[in-house]
Structure 1
Amino acid sequence: MTQTSEPHRTPGMRALTAERYAAFVRGRSTEEGGGYVSFLQCPSWAVVKEGWKSEYVGWFDGEGRQEGAALILYRQLPGVRRYFAYIPEGPVMDWDAPDLGKRLRTLLDHLRGAGAFAVRMGPPLTYRTWSAGTLKGAVGAGRRVGDVVPDLVDPLGASVADRLRAAGWQRCGEDGQGGGDAQPRYLFEVPLADRSLDDVWSGLNQEWRRNVKKATTAGVETAIGDASCLSDFHALLRLTEQRDGFRLGRSQEYFERQYQALNEEEPGRMRLYLARHQDEILAAHTVINLGRRAWYLTGASADHRREVRPSNALQWRIIRDVHAAGAAVYDMRGVPDTLDPQDRAFGLMRWKLGTGGQVAETLGEWELPLQGTVNRTLHRAMQAYLSRR
């Protein structure tokens, strides 16, 4: 994918250098710039996503002012010289812009020129929100988050969803094809803005506070590790996968590449937190920081000595650190949508609800096959390929 350096005065979309793109992302991640850009739209994520080609693009008005940007990842469909385009938790732009439709059409024209047969994107918008209290009161057999009346419906998210449908985009998973979203649709967020640490502590339920105190009494120690500790983290992750019945399929090399790329971009962007007890690492969690948001990305823990509650101790240490750093939101990432206590997945929901935060349903990911019968056929083939992977 070719890239250019300086924009012209002609309005529209053009390729950016990594440096210019990174500068725009930094500006947008500040409180003055809006405060939220996903780490998945950072240039470093293009390095992490091995096997994908990448391109940085920006939208400009007639005065040369940049109005938006996107990291586009391209995956080649095996056997053909055509690409599936993916914009994870992006693009980065004002989604309430009056000319949103025009901007998206410009994006599609650009992707056709780049040889893409279909595109998937994840507008970084919230659709509905439920407080922990609301969901705790709705727990029951067969219940799901979507069955519960939300505390808040975001009008912008609802409006953008309507506009995307009208333009032919389809929300991933609605037709049962392609395996649904690549990124979690339901996020768990702990609001930190305008809250003291005492307020956050009081927001934890009694079980959480008791477990944090139990870990302290038992002598659990928390610390920030370095790259040399990633082997310990990965070993714990394999144990966690076996115990909890899931498979991320990520090698130790993947996490080493992730750690190096993110921290070369900004020192401290990715941190590895460790909980030790009797000189043994019992839990390890990775955290990413960007602007006024921090993400709990991947957690792992040992099978034994769980009674000393290392994960609770580690999460409380992380919350204290990101609060001190000025984060407005601590994003604990995905939760299942089940509220049924008999579902195995409900354990994760229950654990995160104990922090007193909220579940936010994002707008989800949306796909559009680019015009043409061949492109639609390639799109179906790519959905099947991604489902197998």
Structure 2
Amino acid sequence: MSLRLKAITREEHLAFVGRRPSASHMQVPSWGDVKPDWQARSLGWFDEGDRLVGAGLVLLRPLPKLKRYLAYLPEGPLIDWSAPDLDRWLRPMLGHLKAQGVFSVKMGPPVVTRRWSAEAVKAAIADPQAGRLRDAEATSHEPGALAVADRLRAMGWQQTEPGDEDGFAAGQPRYVFQVPFAGKSLEEVQQGFNQQWRRNIKKAEKAGVKVVRGGYEDLPVFYELYVETARRDRFIPRPQAYFERMWTALADEDPDRMRLYLAHHEGEVLSAATMLTVGEHVWYSYGASTDRKREVQPNNAIQWRMMSDAHELGASVYDLRGITDTLDEGNHLLGLLRFKVGTGGQAVEYLGEWDFPLNRFLHKALDLYMSRR
């Protein structure tokens, strides 16, 4: 059976997402409003009965002075990735985008390939011979993932390799850390934490740390801590306007799509974090903290409050987002990995991002430009 692809309305797109148990927060219509430098389009796949069976948010980035675009579907599209005839889904998408002037397509299939338990990650970190998580023995493998990769290669898609420095792909992270909630009580979730995590949560409570939900008016407080975190962890901070736009766009679509949490102690905000929700999937999105009063453990306190609220919302997974792939003790991101491993969750590897050059000359020129940045 053939599939037909065409532009759909935001309402159709959002309704399709709402019928799924989960979807990436980067595949809801409002995410396009968060990215003003891109032109957002909602695409829909229709079967022969004219039923909407797939959807995708595509972001178009124009080339200067040319009516040509780079198309990006972050952590999408939302289609049947297990279908043996995957070409039936992707060929119409490529044809549609080519007709719109797209010279290259990048997408991130939401397909899991491997998982490592917290114990397996800790063992890999402790092993002096283990240089990268990808080389450590996985706890489980998703049998269909390799078949998806084979089908994509056969169609001419090219896989983006993980970064040499920290294991993050050029776009979205290939390695993330997740805490499964499905079928677990909140008490069972906490029982999975290591002793240090449980001790730190109690220490924060005893010290009087109070975690509260904030609003749009609290974003400047979050941002001040975020800039401090950027200096400490050596990354380039996004502008404050980005978070203001993110809040406004996501809240307009769903008032509970984005939340802000603040950890207070004796009148001072020590830690802040944003949380995103789509269906049964909840993400810890951005975190920020100060070096002051770290002994009262505000970061553990804020994560525990967010997990508690996510569990109350009916989440099946709490996603702590990207982790480093390198296990080198000298890497500054290893401490963040250890922090996340303490939740007792699991490291998850996705299939990564894939490119399809519709115009090989322009695609190669873009690759060359990106490699020199």
Output the CA distance in 2 between the equivalents of 1:175 and 1:318.
30
Cross-structure match for 1:296: 284
Output the CA distance in 2 between the equivalents of 1:11 and 1:213.
55
Pairwise CA RMSD of aligned residues? 1.8
Output the CA distance in 2 between the equivalents of 1:343 and 1:277.
31
Structure 1 residue 331: deviation in Å?
0.4
Q: Does 1:267 align with 2:259?
A: no
Output the CA distance in 2 between the equivalents of 1:136 and 1:120.
33
Cross-structure match for 1:3: none
Structure 1 residue 64: deviation in Å?
0.7
Letter in 2 for 1:193: A
Aligned to 1:173, the other structure's residue is in SS state: coil
Output the CA distance in 2 between the equivalents of 1:322 and 1:387.
39
Cross-structure match for 2:360: 376
Cross-structure match for 1:109: 95
Output the CA distance in 1 between the equivalents of 2:35 and 2:77.
17
Superimposed CA distance per residue, residues 144-168 of structure 1 (whole angstroms, 9 cap, x where no aligned partner): 1111111111122221111111111
Structure 1 residue 56: deviation in Å?
1.0
Superimposed CA distance per residue, residues 14-34 of structure 1 (whole angstroms, 9 cap, x where no aligned partner): 111111111111112xxxxxx
Cross-structure match for 1:198: 187
Aligned to 2:53, the other structure's residue is in SS state: strand
C-alpha contact (below 8 Å) 1:82/1:115 kept by paired residues? yes
Cross-structure match for 1:93: 79
Cross-structure match for 1:4: none
Cross-structure match for 2:230: 241
Cross-structure match for 1:362: 350
Superimposed CA distance per residue, residues 170-190 of structure 1 (whole angstroms, 9 cap, x where no aligned partner): 1113798xx943001001000
User: Against the structure 1 CA distance between its residues 296 and 98, is the aligned structure 2 distance closer, same or farther, given a 3 Å change threshold?
Assistant: same
C-alpha contact (below 8 Å) 1:219/1:277 kept by paired residues? yes
Cross-structure match for 1:15: 7
After superposition, residues 45-194 of structure 1 pair within 5 angstroms as: 45-139=31-125, 140-141=127-128, 143-173=131-161, 180-194=169-183
Output the CA distance in 2 between the equivalents of 1:200 and 1:75.
41
Gaps in structure 1 of 5+ consecutive residues? 1-9, 29-34
C-alpha contact (below 8 Å) 1:236/1:283 kept by paired residues? yes
Output the CA distance in 2 between the equivalents of 1:98 and 1:244.
43
Output the CA distance in 1 between the equivalents of 2:50 and 2:37.
33
Structure 1 residue 387: deviation in Å?
5.3
Output the CA distance in 2 between the equivalents of 1:277 and 1:11.
56
Following superposition, which runs of at least 4 residues in structure 1 exceed 6 angstroms of deviation?
none
Output the CA distance in 1 between the equivalents of 2:185 and 2:212.
23
Output the CA distance in 2 between the equivalents of 1:25 and 1:362.
20
Aligned to 1:303, the other structure's residue is in SS state: coil
Q: Does 1:212 align with 2:212?
A: no
C-alpha contact (below 8 Å) 2:72/2:105 kept by paired residues? yes
User: Against the structure 1 CA distance between its residues 71 and 186, is the aligned structure 2 distance closer, same or farther, given a 3 Å change threshold?
Assistant: same
Which piece of structure 1 moves more, 360-369 or 149-158? 149-158
- After TM superposition, the score normalised by the length of structure 1 is 0.91
Letter in 1 for 2:314: G
Cross-structure match for 1:281: 269
C-alpha contact (below 8 Å) 2:77/2:109 kept by paired residues? yes
Output the CA distance in 2 between the equivalents of 1:388 and 1:55.
29
Q: Does 1:224 align with 2:219?
A: no
Cross-structure match for 1:26: 18
Letter in 1 for 2:219: L
Output the CA distance in 2 between the equivalents of 1:245 and 1:53.
30
Structure 1 residue 261: deviation in Å?
0.7
User: Against the structure 1 CA distance between its residues 123 and 243, is the aligned structure 2 distance closer, same or farther, given a 3 Å change threshold?
Assistant: same
Partner residue of 1:250 out of 225, 238, 247: 238
Superimposed CA distance per residue, residues 256-313 of structure 1 (whole angstroms, 9 cap, x where no aligned partner): 0001111110111100010001111110000001100100010000121111110100
Letter in 1 for 2:366: M
Aligned to 2:57, the other structure's residue is in SS state: strand
Partner residue of 1:36 out of 22, 25, 28: 22
Cross-structure match for 1:5: none
Gaps in structure 2 of 5+ consecutive residues? none
Structure 1 residue 99: deviation in Å?
2.9
Partner residue of 2:297 out of 301, 304, 309: 309
Output the CA distance in 1 between the equivalents of 2:347 and 2:135.
13
Q: Does 1:332 align with 2:320?
A: yes
- After TM superposition, the score normalised by the length of structure 2 is 0.95
Cross-structure match for 1:7: none
Structure 1 residue 91: deviation in Å?
0.6
Letter in 1 for 2:362: L
C-alpha contact (below 8 Å) 1:77/1:382 kept by paired residues? no
Q: Does 1:319 align with 2:307?
A: yes
Q: Among all aligned residue pairs of Structure 1 and Structure 2, give the percentage whose two residues are the same amino acid.
A: 49
User: Against the structure 1 CA distance between its residues 384 and 45, is the aligned structure 2 distance closer, same or farther, given a 3 Å change threshold?
Assistant: farther
